[in-house]
Amino acid sequence: MKLKNTLGVVIGSLLASSSLSVLAQGQGAVEVEAFGKRAFSESNREVTDGNLFGGSIGYYLTDDVSLNLSHGVYRSIRSQDTLPGSTHGREQIDGTLSTMEAVYHFGTPAAQSLRPYVSAGFGHQDLDNTFTRGDDKTTFAIVGAGAKYYFTEMFFARAGVDVLHSLDTENTEWQAGVGVGLNFGGSTRPVAEVVEAAPEPMPEPVAAEEPMETVRVELDVKFDFDKANVREESYGDIKNLADFLKQYPQTSTTVEGHTDSVGTDAYNQKLSERRANAVREVLVNQYGVEAERVNAAGYGESRPVADNSSESGRAVNRRVEAEVETQVQQ
């Protein structure tokens, strides 16, 4: 079956599957986009350059790889063909371009992030009313590159360039365009309660001849399911940890990320590392703790503190922990 005949079926299937659950930015997310492109045709095709307007939908197979389907309609293209003695020529040409592409994104999915990408795939172009060929159809191999900027978790803008090589005529053309879109994901999920422990000094005499006490601060930040974003409610307790580290400059800490048991071991390991690094970035970039004093480690689902068979237990296990203690004279 030709590519253009399958696009509608696949797009419909993706839309139906996306309505069954709330998805997060990253693996399992669905993106939709509206775009406009300037299309530059090869001269021997005897048509002018024009504009392409349309939309696309993409499904993230992993955090970085998506499968994208698009359909666009050409505008402002005219035929350059004219027969001797004919008053015709430069006729308005109608046409469409449908594509299927795999896209690899660089960077980490998050709000206010720039994600460059590269893409490759195939497309089917159908131009009507060309003067010498009539209905002009061709299949393209397509490669592209560009970047997306996510203003929020859901809203992004994109700019990119595509090179299209015809498998029928060996012509090579290119298109440059921009788009805006939505990522259906994490910001629509209900916010779970964040439970964190306040700093708790614990005096402990060390030696009778030199009275000492041990002071300690602990942190326990909870996360939403399949998320690595630090919520605003957590910043106050993270600041308490940062203040403790600044008060006792000889101390350091390791923030440890954990997950519940939903998902594969490999995916949960990566998610736990993202959670630990997210808390570390707040300590270093937001509150000015020296980077060399804060380490981050992920333990995936290997260290549960509650029963993963219940939702309440899994919520407790989705966490980042940290602890610092030191001894001071009384």
Identify the CA nearest to 135 among candidates 95, 103, 180, 165. Answer: 95
Tokens of 65: 């790889």
| 216 lies in the same domain as 168 | no
Q: Is residue 50 part of a domain?
A: yes
| 182 lies in the same domain as 241 | no
Domain interval for residue 309: 212-329
Count of alpha carbons within 13 Å of 159, Cβ hemisphere only? 2
Q: 50 φ, ψ to 5°? A: -160, -170
| 73 lies in the same domain as 154 | yes
pLDDT in tens, 172-226: 889 999 999 998 864 434 444 445 556 667 666 555 556 777 788 888 888 999 9
Q: Is residue 221 part of a domain?
A: yes
- Structural domain ending residue among the three candidates 133, 156, 188: 188
| 41 lies in the same domain as 146 | yes
Identify the CA nearest to 186 among candidates 57, 23, 42. Answer: 23
Identify the CA nearest to 133 among candidates 125, 144, 141. Answer: 125
Low-confidence ranges of the chain (pLDDT < 70): 1-25, 43-46, 80-91, 129-134, 185-200, 202-210, 330
Identify the CA nearest to 122 among candidates 183, 155, 163. Answer: 163
Domain count, the chain: 2
| 172 lies in the same domain as 230 | no
pTM: 0.49
pLDDT in tens, 273-316: 999 999 999 999 989 999 999 999 999 999 999 999 999 999 99
